[in-house]
Structure 1
Amino acid sequence: MASPEPSGLSQARVKLIVPTYNGGAVWKACAQSIADAVAASFAHIEVLVVDSSSADDTVGVAAAHGFAVHNVDPATFDHGGTRNLAAGIGPAPDILVFMTQDAVFDAPLALDALLHAFDDQAVAVAYGRQLPHRDANPLAAHARLFNYPAQSYVAGAADRATRGIKAVFASNSFAAYRYTVFLELGGFPEKSIVSEDMYLAARAALAGHKIAYVAAAAVRHSHNYSPTEEFRRYFDIGVFHHDEAWISQAFGGAGGEGKRFILSELRYLARNAPLWVPRACLHNALKIIGYKLGKQYPMLPHAWRRRLSMHKRYWAP
């Protein structure tokens, strides 16, 4: 039996955007889950795939599901700029939804659950819960459980004292934006190494809008990172926080949250996977080193910045 229609959702025009590049098997699962969610939705949804010249059947999978495809040169891809480009293609929507090619809806109605957050006119940004993939290792599983709890909330600038930087957390692996506010704030930064989602959420909060975390809107999305990949990822996060220092100045730094994460992870592993504790210690040490180096990246030679980074194209001249 279908769920009752969320208020106003049948009038909503939604553009769902997915950047892709050689998506492989997980993209096939993602695309099928998107098609199922669109079929189950009360909203009018257009799906746009922005593909960076994939060499596999990524575009064919998108076309088979009836998704529109826009091709971009992989050398020009940027986390913020490419999403801004996609947002401007076609008719203006009421709501923009962004997903990544490796996020799979846990249930078709997860999409409408996220869209329903915009019934609250104060909400400008909403993001869903991320559950670990079925093959997630214990470190990846804990990271999802820690960062994406079972309780929903709505936060804004007034919550910085209690939530700190988490008040403006968001993830474009599954997030949505009120289009009028997206335009008002100028969208994502045109060049961003990572965290374009947090950038826009923080700007929205400072402009008086709210960010909603919707636990009922769940996707499966996780990564079994190697220790080296964790280092590179946190180097890039450090670069972002250096360049966008205003976010930590307005909402607090990530240090307290990092300590909470490590303690939570150790408790989780002690109960569920004690043999992973040494691996967790290695990962966390490399995260801290990577982050601190990233925050000091202007002191590093340009060649070293690129060498230490996960997103190497960001450093191209």
Structure 2
Amino acid sequence: MLEEAEFVVFLTQDAILATPYAINNLLAAFADPTVGAVCGRQLPHRDAGPIGAHARRFNYPDGGSVRSASDIPALGIKTAFLSNSFAAYRKSALISVGGFPQDVIFGEDMCVAARMILSGWKLAYCADAAVHHSHDYRMAQEFRRYFDIGVMHVREPWLLEKFGKPEGEGMRFVRSETAWLWQHAPQLIPSAWFRTLLKLAGYRLGKMEADLPVWMKRRLGMLHGYWNA
């Protein structure tokens, strides 16, 4: 059946379709033959905390877009943003860039999206195709997650070489989060700032992973099994 499929849809087990038409709306992006992949909007769960809710609102706005290599100067690493929590791929485009990498600790969806962009494909974001999917990470989980992101970036240096460093996007997130919390939960602003410092520390430590022993990397990261290979 997969051999005959033209498109492949990804939906994680904790993502809940917001409408019965979400997948149809997602696949509509492929009416443009230059679109290699599309991701849908991720809305916070109804019981999501303010910090988790803001993260979804920041990364998944209410307006759709189509991105190509020409957007790299303006959008940087955000050009290749894609999440397999709710996404679809044109199978021919996915195969043309070698499929999903087998040896990355994190972000195989972004790696594929970046390769598509660099190969001339476009990426679509469809705000009309939505799921409820969010996480209220504890601070230790945020640190571990960003450690893994740092590992991915240092082991896949071409991402930052081709798309630029993520620091500018990070500052934009902090400003947006502070403004959001000021309106909805001002008491959480100090903890949000501390959480940001933990993310930065985890990310920078992850980029230094070559100097760390394996036992320590297992403890610092979220994806412990990666270090068993």
SS of 1:190 mapped into structure 2: coil
Shift of 1:91: 3.3
Partner residue, 2:60: 148
**Which structure 1 residue ranges, 5 or more long, are not aligned?**
1-88
* Residues 1:274 and 2:165 are matched in the alignment: no
Shift of 1:162: 1.1
Query: Given residue 53 of structure 2, which amino acid in structure 1 is its aligned partner?
Result: A
Partner residue, 2:88: 176
Q: Which has the higher helix share?
A: 2
* Residues 1:191 and 2:97 are matched in the alignment: no
Partner residue, 2:217: 305
Q: Distance in 2 between matches of 1:239 and 1:90?
A: 32
Q: Distance in 1 between matches of 2:2 and 2:126?
A: 28
Partner residue, 1:217: 129
Q: Distance in 1 between matches of 2:201 and 2:88?
A: 32
Partner residue, 2:160: 248
Partner residue, 2:228: 316
Q: Distance in 2 between matches of 1:134 and 1:316?
A: 37
Query: Given residue 92 of structure 1, which amino acid in structure 2 is its aligned partner?
Result: E
1:28-107 aligned within 5 A? 90-107=2-19
Q: Distance in 2 between matches of 1:216 and 1:248?
A: 30
Q: Distance in 1 between matches of 2:204 and 2:4?
A: 41
Q: Distance in 1 between matches of 2:80 and 2:90?
A: 15
Query: Given residue 137 of structure 1, which amino acid in structure 2 is its aligned partner?
Result: G
Shift of 1:164: 1.0
Cα 1:177/1:90, change in 2 over 3 Å: closer
| TM score, norm. by length of structure 1 | 0.71
SS of 1:305 mapped into structure 2: helix
Shift of 1:90: 4.3
Q: Distance in 1 between matches of 2:79 and 2:228?
A: 33
Query: Given residue 29 of structure 2, which amino acid in structure 1 is its aligned partner?
Result: A
Equivalent pairs: percent with the same residue?
49
Shift of 1:181: 1.2
Partner residue, 2:51: 139
Query: Given residue 280 of structure 1, which amino acid in structure 2 is its aligned partner?
Result: A
Partner residue, 1:164: 76
Q: Distance in 1 between matches of 2:111 and 2:21?
A: 28
Q: Distance in 2 between matches of 1:206 and 1:91?
A: 25
Q: Which protein has the larger Cα radius of gyration, Structure 1 or Structure 2?
A: 1
| TM score, norm. by length of structure 2 | 0.98
* Residues 1:236 and 2:148 are matched in the alignment: yes
Which structure has more relative contact order (CA 8 Å, sep 6+)? It is 2
**Which structure 2 residue ranges, 5 or more long, are not aligned?**
none
Q: Which of structure 1's runs of 4+ aligned residues deviate more than 4 A?
A: none
CA RMSD of aligned residues (A): 1.0
Query: Given residue 102 of structure 2, which amino acid in structure 1 is its aligned partner?
Result: E
Instruction: Give the total of aligned pairs.
Output: 229
Among 265, 287, 307, the alignment partner of 2:199 is: 287
Per-residue CA distance 1:181-215 (angstroms, 9 max, x = gap): 11111101012211100000000000000000001
Partner residue, 1:50: none
